[in-house]
Chain A
Amino acid sequence: MEIKVLGPGCANCHKMEELAKTAVKELGIEAKIEKITDIGQIAMHGILSTPGLVVNGKIKHSGKPLPSLEKVKELIKGEA
Chain B
Amino acid sequence: MLKQFADYITYTLLKLEPTSHLGDALNFFIYDTLKIFLLLTTIVYAVAIIRAYFPPEKTKRILSQKREYLGNTMAALLGIVTPFCSCSAVPLFIGFVEAGVPLGVTFSFLISSPMVNEIALIMLWGLFGWKIALIYTGTGVVLAIVSGIVIGKLKMEKYVQDYVWQIKAGDGVIMQTSFREKLVFARDYTKDLLKRIWPYVIIGIALGGIVHGYIPTDFVVKYAGRDNPFAVLVAVLIGIPLYSNAAGMIPVVQALVGKGMAMGTVLAFMMSVTAISFPEAVILKNVLKMRLIYTFFGIVTVGIIIVGYLFNAIL
Binding site for B on A (CB under 8 A): 8, 10, 39-40, 42-50, 58-59, 61-66
Q: Are B87 and A47 in contact (CB under 8 A)?
A: no
Residue of B nearest to A58 (CB): B173
Q: Are B91 and A47 in contact (CB under 8 A)?
A: yes
Distance, CA A43 to CA B98, complexed state (A): 9
Task: Identify which of residues 139-175 in chain B touch chain A, using a CB-to-CB cut-off of 8 Å.
Answer: 163-164, 167-173, 175
Residue of A nearest to B94 (CB): A43
The yes or no answer to B218 lying at the interface (CB within 8 A) is no
- Nearest-neighbour CB distance to chain A for B89, whole angstroms, equals 10
Q: Which residues of chain A are within 8 angstroms of B188 by Cβ–Cβ distance?
A: 65-66
Residue of B nearest to A41 (CB): B167
Q: Are B56 and A43 in contact (CB under 8 A)?
A: no
Additional A-B contacts beyond A46-B172, A48-B91, A59-B172 (10; CB < 8 A): A40-B163, A43-B94, A43-B169, A44-B169, A47-B91, A47-B95, A48-B57, A63-B55, A63-B56, A65-B189
- Nearest-neighbour CB distance to chain B for A59, whole angstroms, equals 5
- Nearest-neighbour CB distance to chain B for A16, whole angstroms, equals 13
Residue of A nearest to B166 (CB): A40
As a 0/1 sequence over residues 75 to 97 of chain B, the CB contacts with chain A under 8 angstroms (1 = contact) are 00000000111011011101100
Known: A8-B90, A65-B188. A46 touches B170 (CB 8 A): yes
5 cross-chain CB contacts under 8 A: A42-B91, A46-B172, A47-B91, A49-B56, A59-B172
Known: A49-B85, A64-B85, A65-B192. A39 touches B91 (CB 8 A): yes
Distance, CA A64 to CA B192, complexed state (A): 9
The yes or no answer to B198 lying at the interface (CB within 8 A) is no
Distance, CA A62 to CA B173, complexed state (A): 10
Give the most central of A47, A49, A64: most B CB within 10 Å. A49
Q: Which residues of chain A are within 8 angstroms of B88 by Cβ–Cβ distance?
A: 48-50, 63
Q: Which residues of chain A are within 8 angstroms of B41 by Cβ–Cβ distance?
A: none
Q: Which residues of chain A are within 8 angstroms of B175 by Cβ–Cβ distance?
A: 59, 61-62
Q: Are B83 and A64 in contact (CB under 8 A)?
A: yes
Q: Are B168 and A44 in contact (CB under 8 A)?
A: yes
Q: Are A39 and B90 in contact (CB under 8 A)?
A: yes
Residue from B83, B94, B185 within 8 A of A39 (CB atoms):
B94
Q: Which residues of chain A are within 8 angstroms of B55 by Cβ–Cβ distance?
A: 48-49, 62-63
Give the most central of A42, A58, A59, A63: most B CB within 10 Å. A63
Residue from B84, B85, B95, B185 within 8 A of A46 (CB atoms):
B95
Distance, CA A19 to CA B191, complexed state (A): 19
Q: Which 10 A-B residue pairings sit nearest by Cβ, starting from the closest?
A: A65-B188, A46-B172, A43-B94, A49-B88, A48-B56, A46-B170, A48-B95, A43-B91, A46-B169, A39-B90
Distance, CA A45 to CA B95, complexed state (A): 10
Q: Which residues of chain B are within 8 angstroms of A58 by Cβ–Cβ distance?
A: 173
Residue of A nearest to B181 (CB): A71
